[in-house]
C-alpha cells in the first residue's frame, strides 16, 4: 500500500533579496513496511523536503499525499504522521519522559487513558522505563533521542519521518536507534530517513533517493544501486609472490601485477584464464570489486558538480 506520495515539490526562499533554490524538484513515494534513505550533501534540501511532507513548510509547487490525504489542507492527515526533526529538542526538557509521551499523545488526538497505556508500553520497549520519572534534561543524548522517537510513535502513525536521527549519538545509542527503526518498519510503518552515516543507510534502507542541489539525482532499491555501481572486476591475491614466468604470461594477456601478490582482473572470462596461469599457486582470496553506498554517493554527487 502506498503511504506517501510527494510530487514535484518545489521551494524557493527569498533571503536578503537573494533567491535560494532550496528544493527544485522532489518526488518521493513510500510504501508500508519500507525504509527510504534520503541522502544528500549539506544544504541539498532534505530538511526542507521533509518539512514540506510534514505540512510545516508550504511548497511553492507540487503536492503531498499521506494515505491519500493532504497534510496542508486536511489536519486529519497529520494523525497518520510522526516526525523526529533535525536538531536536539523534539520534547520538553523540563518534563519527564512519561509526561512528554502522555502530553504529545493527547495532542495527536489520543484520549488521556489511551495515551497513558501507550506511554507505558513504549517506555518499556524503548528501555526507558527506569527513567520515566526523571527530567528529560538529565537524560543522555541517546535516551533523549529514543524518547523523541517514542513520542513520534505515540499515535501509531503510518509514516515516520526521521531527519538525522543518529546525529551526535554514541555507538551504543546508534545501535539502539537502528534496532528500533528495524522493529518499527516490521510493524508496517513506512519510514523516510535522512542521515550522513551512509553505512547506516545501507544497512537499513530498502531504497535510496539521492538529492543534490534541490533535485533527486537517483532513486533505486539499495541493492540495485550498489550492484550498478559495483564493477565487474576482481582482485586476486596469492599467498606467495608470483614468479617471473607467470608474470610474463599475465603480461601477454595485457595484465600487470599491482604488487608481487595481487592482480586486478577486468571481468569473469578473463578471471578463469588468469586462474589457469596461476595454477597451482595457493590463492589467499578472490574478491569482486563491490561498491558501497559511500562510493555511489560520492560518484553521483561529485559527478554532478563536474
Partner 1 sequence: MITIFWAELKRQWIQQRRYALDSIAGILGIAVAFYGFFLTTKYAAGPAAQFGDRLDSIVVGYALWSLVTFIIADIAGGLQQEAFTGTLEQLFLSPFSPAKIFLTRALARLTVILVQIFGILLILMAVTGRFLSFTPTLLLPLVTVILGAFGIALAMGGLSLLVKQVQQILGFLPFGLFLAMLVPVETWEMPARLVGWLLPMTPGAGVLRELMARNQALDWGQLAIAFLNGGIYFAIGLALFKQAERIAKLRGRIGGY
Binding residues for partner 1 (CB under 8 A): 11, 13, 22, 48, 51, 54-58, 75-76, 78-79, 81-83, 85, 87-95, 99, 102-104, 106-109, 111-112, 151
CB 59 within 8 A of CB 10: yes
Q: Which is nearer to ligand ADP, 15 or 305 (CB)?
A: 15
Of the pair 4, 250, the CB lying nearest ligand ADP is at 4
- Member of 3, 47, 160, 201 binding Mg ion (CB under 5 A): 47
* Residue 224 φ/ψ, nearest 5 degrees: -60, -45
DSSP E strand stretches across the chain: 2-15, 18-31, 35-39, 61-66, 81-84, 159-163, 190-194, 207-212, 215-221, 234-238, 262-265, 283-288
Question: Among residue numbers 50 through 89, which ones bind Mg ion (CB under 5 A)?
Answer: 86
CB 161 within 8 A of CB 195: no
| DSSP per position, 123-149 | HHHTT-GGGTTS-GGGS-HHHHHHHHH
Binding window for Mg ion (CB under 5 A); candidates: 10-18, 41-49, 53-61, 69-77: 41-49
Whether 203 and 193 have beta carbons less than 8 Å apart is answered as: no
Interatomic CA distance for residues 262 and 117, integer angstroms: 61
Number of DSSP helices (H) and strands (E) in the chain, helices first = 10, 12
Q: Is 48 in the site for Mg ion (CB under 5 A)?
A: no
Q: Among residues 89 and 248, whose Cβ is nearest to partner 1?
A: 89
| Residue 75 interacts with, from Mg ion, partner 1, ligand ADP, none (CB under 5-8 Å by kind) | partner 1
Q: What span, in angstroms and rounded, lies between the C-alpha atoms of 155 and 164?
A: 21
> Least CB distance from residue 238 to partner 1, whole Å?
57
In angstroms, give the least distance from the CB of 208 to ligand ADP. 15
Cα gap 36→45, rounded to integer Å = 16
Candidates 39, 48, 195, 222: give the one binding ligand ADP (CB under 6 A). Answer: 48
| 42 scored as a contact of ligand ADP (CB under 6 A) | yes
Task: Supply the minimum distance, in Å, between the C-beta of residue 301 and ligand ADP.
Answer: 12
Q: Which is nearer to partner 1, 119 or 242 (CB)?
A: 119
Q: Which of residues 15-34 bind ligand ADP (CB under 6 A)?
A: 15, 20, 22
By CB under 6 A, residue 44 contacts ligand ADP: yes
β-pairing verdict for 234-238 and 81-84? unpaired
CB atoms within 10 A of CB 212: 21
Stretch in the footprint of ligand ADP (CB under 6 A) among 45-53, 68-76, 96-104, 165-173:
45-53
Residue ranges that bind Mg ion, judged by CB under 5 A:
46-47, 86
Residue ranges that bind ligand ADP, judged by CB under 6 A:
13, 15, 20, 22, 40, 42-48
Amino acid at each position: 500500500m502506498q503511504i506517501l506520495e510527494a510530487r514535484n515539490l518545489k521551494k524557493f526562499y527569498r533571503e536578503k533579496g537573494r533567491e535560494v533554490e532550496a528544493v527544485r524538484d522532489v518526488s518521493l513515494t513510500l510504501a508500508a513496511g519500507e525504509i527510504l534513505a534520503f541522502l544528500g550533501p549539506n544544504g541539498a534540501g532534505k530538511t526542507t523536503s521533509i518539512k514540506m511532507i510534514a505540512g510545516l513548510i508550504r511548497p511553492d509547487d507540487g503536492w503531498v499525499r499521506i494515505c491519500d490525504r493532504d497534510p496542508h489542507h486536511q489536519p486529519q492527515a497529520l494523525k497518520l504522521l510522526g516526525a523526529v526533526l533535525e536538531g536536539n529538542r523534539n520534547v520538553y526538557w523540563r518534563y519527564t519522559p512519561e509526561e512528554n509521551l502522555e502530553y504529545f499523545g493527547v495532542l495527536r488526538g489520543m484520549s488521556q487513558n489511551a495515551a497513558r497505556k501507550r506511554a507505558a508500553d513504549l517506555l518499556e520497549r524503548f528501555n526507558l522505563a527506569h527513567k520515566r520519572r526523571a527530567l528529560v534534561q538529565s537524560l543522555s543524548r541517546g535516551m533523549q533521542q529514543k524518547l523523541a522517537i517514542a513520542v513520534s510513535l505515540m499515535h501509531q502513525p503510518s509514516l515516520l519521518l526521521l531527519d538525522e536521527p543518529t546525529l551526535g549519538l554514541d555507538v551504543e545509542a546508534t545501535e539502539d536507534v537502528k534496532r528500533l527503526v528495524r522493529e518499527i518498519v516490521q510493524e508496517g510503518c513506512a519510514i523516510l530517513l535522512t542521515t550522513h552515516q551512509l553505512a547506516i543507510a545501507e544497512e537499513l534502507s530498502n531504497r535510496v533517493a539521492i538529492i543534490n542541489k534541490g533535485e533527486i539525482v537517483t532513486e533505486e532499491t539499495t541493492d540495485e544501486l550498489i550492484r550498478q555501481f559495483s564493477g565487474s572486476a576482481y582482485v586476486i591475491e596469492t599467498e606467495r609472490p608470483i614468479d617471473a614466468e607467470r608474470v610474463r604470461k599475465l603480461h601477454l594477456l595485457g595484465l600487470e601485477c599491482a604488487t608481487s601478490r595481487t592482480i586486478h582482473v577486468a571481468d569473469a572470462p578473463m578471471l578463469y584464464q588468469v586462474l589457469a596461469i596461476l595454477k597451482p599457486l595457493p590463492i589467499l582470496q578472490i574478491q569482486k570489486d563491490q561498491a558501497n553506498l559511500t562510493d555511489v554517493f560520492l560518484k553521483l554527487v561529485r559527478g554532478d558538480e563536474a
